[in-house]
Amino acid sequence: MSLSILIIIPLLTALAVIFCRNAEQVKWTSLFGSVAQLAVSGVMFFQYNALRKAGEVAQFVFEEKHTWFSFMNINYHIGVDGIAIAMILLTAFVVVAGVLVSWNVSHLTKEFYLLLVLLSTGAYGFFISLDLFTMFFFLELAVIPKFLLIGIWGSGNKEYSAMKLALMLMGGSALVLMGLLIVYFGSAASCGAPTYNLIEIASHRLDFSTQMFAFPFLFAGFGVFTAMFPFHTWAPDGHSSAPTAASMFLAGISMKLGGYGCLRVAVYLLPDAAHEYSWIVVLLSAIAIFYGSFATMMQKDLKYINAYSSVSHCGFVLLGIGMLTKTAITGAVMQMVSHGLMTALFFAAIGMIYERTHTRQVEKLGGLLKVIPFLSTIFVIAGLCSLGLPGLSGFVAEMTVFQGAWQRPETFYRLATILGCLSIVVTAVYILRASGKVIMGPIVDEHHTHLSDARWNEKLASVILLLAILAIGTAPFWLTDLLNPGSELIMNQLTAR
Amino acid sequence: MSDSLALLLVPALPLAAFLLIFLVGRVYFPKFSGILGTVIMLATTVISMATAYKYFFVTGKVDGVYQHLIAFKFTWLPFSENVSIDMGAIMDPISMVMICVVTFISLMVHIYSLGYMKGEDRFAIYYSYLGLFTFSMLGLVLSTNIFQIYIFWELVGVSSFLLIGYYFDKPSAVAASKKAFIVTRFADAGFLIGILVLSYYTGTLDFETMIARLTVPGSELTAITTAGFLGVSALTWGLMLVFMGGAGKSAMFPLHIWLPDAMEGPTPVSALIHAATMVVAGVYLVARLFPIFAISCPVGLDVVAYIGVFSSMFAAIIACTQTDIKRVLAYSTMSQIGYMMFALGVAGYGGENGLGFTASFFHLFTHAMFKALLFLGAGAVIHYVHSNDMRDMGGLRKHMPVTHIAFLIACLAIAGVPGFAGFFSKEEILTAAHNSNPIIYWCAIATAALTAFYMFRLYFNIFWNKEYHAHHSDSHHGDDHHHGEAPWSMKAPLIILALLSIATGYIPFGNFVSSDGQALHSEFHLTSAILPVSLAIGAIIVAMLFYRKKNAVPDKIAGTIKGVYTGALHKFYIDELYLFVTKKLIFGIGGTIAAWFDKNVVDGVVNFSATVGENFSDTLKKMQNGKVQSYAMYFFTGVLGFVLLFVFLWDKF
């Protein structure tokens, strides 16, 4: 199949949305486009599995390459492996859910959906790129719409948040760009001529000094996207001001761009530097995990709770990457997928509750299970996934990270892993505290006694995400089978000194 | 039916019940859900009993030893080449005993709840949660893999959480459910690290392989015993961390604080989860890893023994002062599980040394019967008087004769009066303790006397003491003020369990369960029974004098040992201590610091750099003011600067 279809469908959807005449048409067009995208991603997943079963050994399949800008050796070069497919599936699920959840956006509906679709185009393009410059192009494409989504449709202190988020992410991209340029010019020595071609750079290992020089830029740059400590403060403010779908995209997809970038570019292309710097990565991620969970405990706004908890959970992604073992890397990718789905579900639930109660303050909510049982159940399930209940995706991802992390016998890495294990207790504390107050207990506000439960679109959005979470949580073997060849290649790169 | 199909059905049926009732039944047939759940549970019970029967009597022993069979097993989550989480079902004596206990007690509770929970708003949800719990518990006992047991371990934890918080609009129930989950979660974090330690050195998560590698001398065993941390070997660390998980679930000191509060759940749930099945999971876990403990890590086994015996005595003292009848039973459960723990702790591997192992499981079995009976009986009493407090009760023997007799039988059984089930299992534990460790033995004897005392304090306070008068109902049960004792759905389980609280004592348990799979013939010494039995009977007589008729003696006694009494009444202030350490110290201070740091330092830097940027651009903006004079000044200042720079650099080159 032609992989470009993953970019063409959202672009066509965007185009169609522009020509729609009313809000209903916009919504249905976007829904149709996103469902088509989900279907295509599903087909691609099965085709990929069939290819691998048939003995395909190429690292990336469905490769396509067209010259874009020959002077700088920039190509439109795309292809996928299992890791990319996992990320694409995640994106497709979150986009469908996000479109459904935004069904009653009434202000500038067309523009809202247009930006959502463009945002997803950026994400899809990023995950399939094999050319560093193309990759950067799509990364940028995914940043700009967020600024507008928060600035226009947001709530609360939205101008501040939108500005903060856009500036910090732009700062991150600037670092990434620096790193990419270092890699580009550094590749002249090993590859003969400077190139952005990911495969080529990987097969002719960059020299040590270039790696050491580029790694901090790339890692910190992508780290900003994945809300790595101490570059995480855009996340809480950004999430809390963003409209529901934007929060879902932001936490579900956008933070994963960073994790994916760290893995695919920083670790894969700069393996020797990754070894040298791994202790810093582990240190920062251990801080993020523990510090994020403690900071969560003090939050009073549901969106802030989930935002800080995302900082903590994305710490597991970086912890897995920083451990540099195959199991841990697989675990990191699983955590990206799992956290993407789970946090999207959580933000959706919070958004739906907010729409009805007009507050997100934990203090002002209570006993919702009695009034809106469906939404409350979704909220609790998302919470249970967050605290790592077996049967839901969070558990398998975290356990894979722990199991992989424990393979590093050095005391420092062990301590980081133990800290990670202990954080699951803190997670339980804040999740149960929030759901015990909001969902259970007596009803606090008498206005909350007559709320309407979820509508069809909200139910559908929740069920779609929930099914994906359960598919990973109850039968994780298909996901590890999908991811393992990819993480093995990264491992080969890391072990071939 | 083949074993693998049967053992697949055993956990699958309750799971199906959960899904069916939760997704469909709740909406379409809420009233019928109870019957549906009960029928499915009956089928599960029949299948598991048949499977156990087949295992013990048809397949039987090979060379005099019960075999460990794997009914089925598949890879669920592969971590690396050899290490993976498998889902499977193991068949060995302890797992077979456990599936019988779990399904049977669950069936009794299903039947009982038909009456007890009738008319509840969330009747269907209740039955779906019971199904979820039973599924998880069966998955737990059938585990072939240490990570599989961890998975189901968490799942029983969450089902327990859901059921404790069943009355979710009651703040105390919500608080109790949170407490139970968080305390056991803390213990489980230890369990998880323990698994990581053990699997790192053995290179497997599979129970059988792990036990084989850690009991037979080999490279793995050498590696794990020589590696260490803080002077303790990695093996001991691993096992102790795993035991931490077990101690959390089994409410061993100091992780017991959640159990008494868990009584906020509906009483049948307390009977099922917090008395007969889930709380013995810790005992089961130690038993599952018993060969490693006994052969390679006797120190660990000593820890198990001392924690067990201390918890046992500690809980028994507290139980003497509590007035909430369910809390008395909760502390009694903790005490009896302590018994099972130290029985394992004093046991050795193989032959006569393994008496403690057999005794522990024997007691687990009999205790499940009489403790479930006690809870279900207490439930009937609570159902009748609409109060948990024994001071609101008294004289109920005339009002509820069936419950009275059943409860009396259970009390006699737990007190260890000859002829009843508890006597036989407790005797065996005491013999095992006597053979190995005098300190533990004497503590156990003292606990036995206390047990008889507080159980009969409970019994006389409920059924004798003052006369019971018509009650004033303010509970949500009560539309029918003049209801009789209890419906048959509640009485039948009481009668069945009462019979079993006598009969199970006569099972020659050593024939079936022993540390090494060979039959263990423990002979019964009349002389060793004299002391505990006479102490128990003495304690019963004291309780009778104190509480049969209302009198001032108990208060006087309490006055003379005021310090101990107040301490025990307040559960020795362990809760307050925990609350202080966790809420005030760890979460309070830690959380406040993290949140402050984030708001002011990390975010401060971000905002500061934004402000600097803004000021800088402001300055630049002001420079472009359109005045030729100032441009000229900037120009000449610049030129001067460059000149100075070049002059300075000229020297260097």
Per residue in A109-138, pLDDT (tens digit) is 888 889 888 889 999 999 999 999 989 999
Spatial neighbors of B189 by CB under 8 A, at least 6 apart, are: A421, A422, A424, A425
Chain length of chain A? 497
Measure CB to CB from residue B591 to each of A297, A421, A476 and give the nearest one: A297
- Give residue B520's region: left, alpha or beta (phi > 0; psi -120 to 50): beta
User: CA-CA distance, B374 to B451, in Å (whole number)?
Assistant: 14
User: CA-CA distance, B134 to B34, in Å (whole number)?
Assistant: 15
Query: Count of alpha carbons within 13 Å of B121, Cβ hemisphere only?
Result: 7
Measure CB to CB from residue B189 to each of A232, A424, A480 and give the nearest one: A424
A142 — pLDDT class (breaks 50, 70, 90): confident
Q: Evaluate if residue B584 carries a pLDDT over 80.
A: no
Spatial neighbors of B340 by CB under 8 A, at least 6 apart, are: B280, B283, B308, B360, B361, B363, B364, B367, B429
- Give residue A358's region: left, alpha or beta (phi > 0; psi -120 to 50): left
Question: What pLDDT does B1 receive?
Answer: 66
Type of residue numbered A34: S
State the nearest Cα–Cα gap between A227 and chain B, in angstroms: 12
Q: What are the chain A neighbours of B177 within 8 Å (beta carbons)?
A: 432, 436
CB count in 10 Å sphere of residue B639: 10
User: CA-CA distance, B453 to B371, in Å (whole number)?
Assistant: 16
Contact yes or no for B196 and A421 at CB 8 A: yes
User: CA-CA distance, B582 to B255, in Å (whole number)?
Assistant: 13
Mean pLDDT of B616-633: 75
Contact yes or no for B181 and A428 at CB 8 A: yes
Contact yes or no for A428 and B185 at CB 8 A: yes
Type of residue numbered B436: S
Contact yes or no for B168 and A369 at CB 8 A: yes
Type of residue numbered B577: L
State the nearest Cα–Cα gap between B190 and chain A, in angstroms: 8
Q: Residue ranges per domain, chain A?
A: 5-495
Per residue in B54-84, pLDDT (tens digit) is 888 888 788 778 888 888 888 898 888 888 8
Question: What pLDDT does B477 receive?
Answer: 47
B-interface mutation test, from A425, A437, A443, A488, most B Cβ less than 10 A away: A425
Measure CB to CB from residue B594 to each of A295, A399, A407 and give the nearest one: A295
Helix or strand run (H / E) with residue B468: none
State the nearest Cα–Cα gap between B527 and chain A, in angstroms: 50
Task: Count interface pairs A-B at CB distance under 8 A.
Answer: 130
Chain length of chain B? 653
Per residue in B530-544, pLDDT (tens digit) is 888 888 888 888 888
Measure CB to CB from residue A233 to each of B79, B147, B598 and give the nearest one: B598
C-alpha dist (Å) from residue B295 to B66, B214, B302, B412, B465: 19, 9, 13, 37, 52
Contact yes or no for B594 and A425 at CB 8 A: no
A-interface mutation test, from B18, B19, B75, B79, most A Cβ less than 10 A away: B79
Tally helices (H) and strands (E) across chain B. Answer: 28, 6
B-interface mutation test, from A165, A233, A430, most B Cβ less than 10 A away: A233
What is the separation of C-alpha B178 from the centre of its chain, rounded to a whole number of angstroms? Answer: 14
Backbone dihedral angles phi then psi of residue B228, each to the nearest 5 degrees: -160, 175
Contact yes or no for A402 and B169 at CB 8 A: no
Q: Percentage of chain A with pLDDT > 70?
A: 100
State the nearest Cα–Cα gap between B225 and chain A, in angstroms: 16
User: Is the model more confident about B447 or about B613?
Assistant: B447
Q: Percentage of chain A with pLDDT > 90?
A: 32
Q: What are the chain B neighbours of A291 within 8 Å (beta carbons)?
A: 594, 597-598
Q: Which of A125-134, B236-245, B268-277, B642-651 has the lowest mean pLDDT?
A: B642-651
Q: Mapping DSSP to helix (H, G, I), strand (E, B) and coil, where does residue B145 land?
A: strand
Per residue in B413-432, pLDDT (tens digit) is 998 888 888 888 888 898 88
Per residue in B115-133, pLDDT (tens digit) is 888 888 888 899 999 999 9
B179 close to B164: Cβ distance less than 8 angstroms: no
Q: Evaluate if residue B474 carries a pLDDT over 60.
A: no
Measure CB to CB from residue B158 to each of A233, A326, A389 and give the nearest one: A389
Mean pLDDT of B585-591: 75
Spatial neighbors of A268 by CB under 8 A, at least 6 apart, are: A198, A202, A489, A490, A493
State the nearest Cα–Cα gap between B182 and chain A, in angstroms: 6
B453 close to B461: Cβ distance less than 8 angstroms: no
A200 — pLDDT class (breaks 50, 70, 90): confident
Contact yes or no for A421 and B158 at CB 8 A: no
Contact yes or no for A406 and B174 at CB 8 A: no
State the nearest Cα–Cα gap between A470 and chain B, in angstroms: 13
B90 close to B149: Cβ distance less than 8 angstroms: no
Per residue in A450-486, pLDDT (tens digit) is 778 878 888 899 999 999 999 999 999 999 989 988 8
State the nearest Cα–Cα gap between B173 and chain A, in angstroms: 9
Measure CB to CB from residue A432 to each of B151, B181, B605 and give the nearest one: B181
Closest chain B residue by Cα to residue A230: B602
* Burial class of residue B495 (count of CB atoms within 10 Å of its CB; 0-12, 13-18, 19+): middle
State the nearest Cα–Cα gap between B154 and chain A, in angstroms: 7
Spatial neighbors of A213 by CB under 8 A, at least 6 apart, are: A182, A186
Backbone dihedral angles phi then psi of residue A297, each to the nearest 5 degrees: -60, -30
Q: Evaluate if residue A67 carries a pLDDT over 70.
A: yes
Q: What is the pTM of this model?
A: 0.90
**Token couple for A475:** 């039968």
Q: Evaluate if residue B94 carries a pLDDT over 60.
A: yes
Closest chain B residue by Cα to residue A428: B182
Q: What are the chain B neighbours of A477 within 8 Å (beta carbons)?
A: 75-78
Measure CB to CB from residue B77 to each of A230, A418, A477 and give the nearest one: A477
Q: What are the chain B neighbours of A421 within 8 Å (beta carbons)?
A: 189, 192-193, 196
* Burial class of residue A160 (count of CB atoms within 10 Å of its CB; 0-12, 13-18, 19+): middle
Per residue in B321-355, pLDDT (tens digit) is 888 889 999 999 999 999 999 999 998 887 778 88
Contact yes or no for B199 and A403 at CB 8 A: yes
C-alpha dist (Å) from residue B300 to B202, B240, B307: 18, 6, 11
Question: What pLDDT does A497 receive?
Answer: 62
A-interface mutation test, from B81, B168, B197, most A Cβ less than 10 A away: B168
CA triple A379-A384-A385, angle to 5 deg: 100
State the nearest Cα–Cα gap between B178 and chain A, in angstroms: 6
Contact yes or no for A403 and B186 at CB 8 A: no
Average pLDDT, chain B: 85
Per residue in A254-270, pLDDT (tens digit) is 889 999 999 999 999 99
Contact yes or no for B154 and A400 at CB 8 A: no
User: CA-CA distance, A215 to A230, in Å (whole number)?
Assistant: 17
